[in-house]
Amino acid sequence: MCPVCKSARYLNPDMRFLVNPECYHKMCESCVDRRFSQGPAACPIAGCKRTLRKARFRTQTFEDIKVEREVDLRREVASVFNREEDDFETLQDYNDYLEQVENVTWNLINDIDVEDTRRKMDAYKEENRRQITRNHSNAAQEAISRKAREEEDHELTRLRRADARREDELERQEKSDARKGIINKLATTKGDAASIAREGRRAELKKSSAQRVALDKKRDGDVFAAGTENGDAGSGFTFKGLKKRVAPPPEKPYDPYGGWSAEKEYFSQQDFYDWDYLSNARTDPRHSAGGYDINDYCARALCDAFSGFGVFIEDEVSGRDLGSTPSMATTAAAAVGGERVDAKMEDVF
């Protein structure tokens, strides 16, 4: 019976009851429509003066309204305290954390120091906003991957089921074929009937056992192919016994030379060189129009002049022997090539 309009299920068999998480008073759908479609209004239950909105009415999940409320509170708490076991150094710390969280929840549920607890919770939320969001996204990621895995599993079982069915079908088919074959043979060939029948049966047995072995092998392969592991990343926090999370160093920009620099070592180029035959080129627009840059020319000239520095002939000479011997790989390759040639040579006819 609806406590607001007093209509009962007897009169209206498909009556649905809704509750609002504001006060958890139960009322039927039509009452909600009637009272709250004009905007927020006070709860019609006597003694409850809370203002309710229509949008927040929903069907009750649990039979026990206390549990319903508890779960709502838990949802709230869980969205703030969402740390995982990996975040803690020892199991005991994690357990202590769990207990503290449970205490917070307990206080909220049983209306003990609600103000104080809420305040603390909010403060904590402010403090750890970043970590909370990160753990959230981690959890979401995990949920997604779990879902994917589940779907994969479903698909695999479906396939396996289909395979099994096909196998059975095939086997039955083969059996009946073999039987037909034996009968045909008995009808057409002359000879000892018993021996023909025995022969046929043996062939059938052999075939079916070979098939079974093949199928088993195939299945083994499938099993190994399937099954991927997903790891999860941990995150850090400042509770008690927290694991110190080392932030990874920021990634450097990509260096195509792999650390090798083209900095000039032995000279530095100046902006201006007082060089007679260049002064003309510097001012002549015909040169600069073609994209000719005096500085480039200077750089090249200087590089030519200094490039011999840093080359030590003795080292080069002593290193020459090493460099000149062909590497192992090349010799091996050559050997193979040679062999092949030899083989070709041998295989004259």
Partner 1 sequence: MRFNIEELEVLFPYPSIYPEQYAYMCDLKRTLDAGGHCVLEMPSGTGKTVSLLSLIVAYQQVQPEKRKLIYCSRTMSEIEKALAELKALMKYRTEQLGYEEEFRGLGLTSRKNLCLHPSVKREKSGSVVDARCRSLTAGFVKEKKERGEDVEMCVYHDNLDLLEPHNLIPPGVWTFDGLLKYGESQKQCPYFTARRMMPYCNVIIYSYHYLLDPKIAERVSRELSKDCIVVFDEAHNIDNVCIESLSIDLTEDSLRKATRGVNNLDRKITEMKSTDAEKLQSEYAKLVQGLQEADEARNEDAFMSNPALPDDLLKEAVPGNIRRAEHFVAFLKRFIEYLKTRMKVLHVISETPPSFLNHLRDLTFIERKPLRFCAERLTSLVRTLELTNIEDYQPLQEVATFATLIATYETGFLLILEPFESDTATVPNPILHFTCLDAAIAIKPVFERFSSVIITSGTMSPLDMYPKMLAFSTVIQQSYTMTLARKSFLPMIVPRGTDQSRITSAFQQRNDPSVIRNYGNLLTEFCKLTPDGIVVFFPSYLYMEGIISMWQGMGILDTVWKYKLILVETPDSQETALALETYRTACNNGRGAVLLCVARGKVSEGIDFDHHYGRTVLCIGVPFQYTESRILKARLEFLRETYRIKEQEFLSFDAMRHAAQCLGRVLRGKDDYGIMVMADRRFLSKRQQLPKWIQQALDDKYADLSVDQAVSAAKAFLREMSVPWSRVEQRGVSTWDAEDLAMHKAKQEEEMIRMLEEEAQNGGGMVEVDEYGGDDLDEVMADLDA
- Tell which positions 162-181 bind partner 1, by CB under 8 A: 164, 168
Q: Among 45, 71, 299, 302, which residue sits at the site for partner 1 (rule: CB under 8 A)?
A: 71
The yes or no reply on residue 161 touching partner 1 (CB under 8 A) is yes
Q: Determine the Cα angle at 332 with ends 327 and 338, to 5°.
A: 125
- Residue 68 to residue 54: CA distance in whole angstroms: 18
Which of 5, 15, 23, 98 touches partner 1 (CB under 8 A)? 98
Q: Is 92 in the site for partner 1 (CB under 8 A)?
A: yes
Q: Is 99 in the site for partner 1 (CB under 8 A)?
A: yes
**91 binds partner 1 per the rule CB under 8 A:** yes
Burial call 307-344: b when 16+ CB within 10 Å, e when fewer: eeeeeeeeeeeeeeeeeeeeeeeeeeeeeeeeeeeeee
Per rule CB under 8 A, is residue 75 in the interface with partner 1? yes
Residue from 36, 57, 94, 237 in contact with partner 1 (CB under 8 A): 94
φ, ψ dihedrals at 63, nearest 5°: -65, -40
Q: How far is CA 122 from the centre of its chain?
A: 32
The count of residues interacting with partner 1 (CB under 8 A) is 32
Q: What is the dihedral of CA 294, 296, 302, 305, to 10 degrees?
A: -110
Q: Judged by CB under 8 A, does residue 239 bind partner 1?
A: no
Could you tell me the smallest distance in angstroms from the CB atom of residue 105 to partner 1?
9
> Per CB under 8 A, does 197 bind partner 1?
no
Nearer to partner 1 (CB atom), residue 61 or residue 209: 61
Query: Can you list the alpha helix ranges (DSSP code H) found in the chain?
Result: 29-36, 65-80, 91-109, 114-127, 129-188, 193-225, 276-283, 285-289, 294-306, 313-324, 328-346
Residue selected from 122, 151, 216, 342 as contacting partner 1 according to rule CB under 8 A? 216
CB of 200: closest distance to partner 1 in angstroms? 17
Tokens, residue 135? 């753990």
How far, in Å, CA of 87 to CA of 57, rounded?
37
The yes or no reply on residue 160 touching partner 1 (CB under 8 A) is yes
Q: Smallest distance from the beta carbon of 160 to partner 1, in angstroms?
A: 6
Q: How many CB atoms lie within 10 A of CB 182?
A: 19
* Other Cβ atoms closer than 10 A to 59: 9
Nearer of residues 223 and 335 to partner 1, judged by Cβ = 223
> Which of 59, 261 has the CB closer to partner 1?
59
- Short-list 346, 325, 322, CA closest to 334: 325
Segment interacting with partner 1, rule: CB under 8 A, options 5-13, 86-94, 260-268, 322-330: 86-94
Binding site for partner 1 (CB under 8 A): 61-64, 67, 70-71, 74-75, 78, 91-92, 94-102, 106, 109, 146, 150, 157, 160-161, 164, 168, 216, 219
